[in-house]
Amino acid sequence: MKLLVIGSGGREHALCKKLLASPLVSAVYCAPGNDGMKNDGILLVPLAESQHQQLIAFAKTTGIAWTFVGPEVPLLAGIVNDFQKAGLKIYGPTKEAALIEGSKDFAKSLMVKYQIPTADYQTFTDLKQAQAYVAAKGCPIVIKADGLAAGKGVVVATDLPMANRALEEMLQGQKFGVSGARVVVEEFLAGEEFSLLAFVRNEEVYPMIVAQDHKRAYDHDLGPNTGGMGAYAPVPQISQEMVATAVATVLQPAAEGMVAEGCPFTGILYAGLIATPKGPKVIEFNARFGDPETQVVLPQMTADLAQVIDDLLNDQTPTITWRENSYTLGVVVASLGYPGAYTKGAILPDFSGFEEVEVTYAGVKKVAGHLTADGGRVYLVAATAESLAVAQEKVYQALAAVKTTGTFYRHDIGAKAF
């Protein structure tokens, strides 16, 4: 098979590598991809993820067996709908189903209706009403832009001035544009966070191993929220009982609820969860693989990813298997200033001499023969080992041995597991 992956980040790099490892696959194309992918035999297609008709034409002329969509923006723009109308196979939710990520209010309403455990909340478009609600509830409290904000539209307000400022920036200052014209204000939940992803086909749910992402920019969970600064999988401090409860009380009713609502979900369903004394509760849903969770979950998968997706697209039952007594840990290297205004152009180190780590590239560009930083999150360095401590040590040894000028990374990814 020849396959097409839509997207350009580290998530897509990891997906392409995993798909290319399948004996069923002769070529993997990535649109638009990034310059860091070329060394792994991934073929770049110079088309933006928004160019649906050109991507459809490419898939037809190239004989693409099926397409996989990485990011959320093309999903909400209806790329799956458009490919299906053109008679092409594509794995991902329709724009109607992707609303589970595209609108926090839609997701919250779904959870309330189908009794999926989540934080208490209210939705607002009026600043004064929102501020009055926060004043009545007290802090800490969580304020979320209703729409997409690249993982940056969440503020955990520890005091009232911080909460009021966040509400003003979103509802009045249009910090996130249309995405923040409506805000969801919800109770703060304390506990250990974890990410549970699953392959979904209508009411069928095939869960993956759990991962833990690190959203804050700096060590010790300080600084602003980002798209994710590192992750590891599996998560030893989250019990199998907690995971099984999450599948039964979150993923399964969400899949069934989407079918009942007339917008059945087929694709990757991501539940961002928090382990509370009363069991797992939902922080957020995503309609696709997480980044950087993908880069640590896929190395733990012993099944053939291309076969799994092919089975799901052809009404077969997939067989999904995982490593035992094994961990993968990945650290994101980001441009200085991220998630705010950041610097570009830093020349990236060469990791070819480090056989025990795997590098996936995101915001990069080749300039005068060198890979350079061209985005907020630039690349991720991961290692797989028989213990989390060894995996962590391998990654940080590799990062310490190279020059990372113009970039930064966290030094405590995985620390919560110890």
- CATH number (domain holding residue 134): 3.30.1490.20
Please confirm whether the linkage preceding 117 is cis (ω < 30° from 0).
Answer: no
pLDDT at 153: 81
Q: What is the pLDDT of residue 180?
A: 73
Cα-only R_g, the chain: 21
Alpha-carbon distance of 306 to 137, in angstroms, equals 48
% of residues, the chain, pLDDT over 70: 99
Residue 228: per-residue pLDDT: 95
**Residue 288 shares a structural domain with residue 365:** no
Taking only the tens place, the pLDDT of each residue in 183-238 is 989 989 888 999 999 999 999 999 999 999 999 999 999 998 898 999 999 999 99
Identify whether residues 202 and 246 lie together within a single domain. yes
pLDDT tens sequence across 136-152: 888 999 998 888 776 66
Same domain, 209 and 309: yes
Q: Which CATH number do you get for residue 368?
A: 3.90.600.10
Chain segment 297-352, per-residue pLDDT in tens: 999 999 999 999 999 999 999 999 999 999 999 999 999 999 999 999 999 999 98
* pLDDT at site 151: 64
Look at residue 101 in the predicted model and tell me its pLDDT: 94
Percent of the chain clearing pLDDT 90 (strictly above): 83
Query: Phi and psi at residue 79, in whole multiples of 5°?
Result: -65, -35
Which of 313, 347, 379 is at the close of a domain?
Answer: 313
Residue 312 contacts residue 266 (beta carbons within 8 Å): yes
Please tell me whether residues 236 and 349 are part of one structural domain.
Answer: no
- What pLDDT is attached to residue 104? 87
Greater model confidence, 247 or 175: 247
Decide if 258 is inside a domain: yes
Are 206 and 169 contained in the same domain? no
Task: Quote the CA–CA distance of 121 and 362 in Å, as a whole number.
Answer: 34
pLDDT of 181 strictly over 90: no
Residue 152 lies inside a defined structural domain of this protein: yes
| Residue 170 belongs to some domain of the structure | yes
Mean local confidence (pLDDT), 2-21? 98
Residue 321 resides in a domain:
no
Q: Which helix (H) or strand (E) holds 195?
A: strand 192-201
> Is the preceding omega at residue 339 within 30 degrees of 0, hence cis?
yes
Q: What is the CATH number of the domain that holds 230?
A: 3.30.470.20
The answer, yes or no, to whether residue 253 has pLDDT greater than 70, is yes
pLDDT > 80? residue 122: yes
Confidence of residue 178 (pLDDT cuts 50, 70, 90): confident
Tokens of 106: 């839609």
- CB within 8 Å of 61: residues ≥ 6 apart: none
Average pLDDT, integer, range 167-172: 88
Distance CA 43, CA 52 (A): 18
- Taking CA atoms, 292 is separated from 11, 12, 414, in Å, by 7, 10, 13
Q: Kindly report the average pLDDT of the chain as a whole number.
A: 95
Q: How far apart are CA 200 and CA 212, in angstroms?
A: 21
Q: Evaluate whether residue 115 is within a structural domain.
A: no
If asked whether residues 375 and 396 sit together in one domain, one would say yes
Instruction: Give pLDDT, residue 354.
Output: 93
Residue-range definition of the domain harbouring residue 335: 327-417
Does residue 319 sit within a domain? no
**Does residue 120 form part of some domain?**
no
Instruction: Tell me, yes or no, whether 139 and 88 share the same domain.
Output: no
Residue 318 forms part of a structural domain = no
Domain stops at, among 281, 313, 345: 313
Q: What is the pLDDT of residue 285?
A: 95
Region of poorest pLDDT, from 143-152, 265-274, 351-360 = 143-152
- Inter-CA distances, 281 with 122, 197, 292, 320, Å: 17, 14, 21, 25
How many domains, the chain?
4
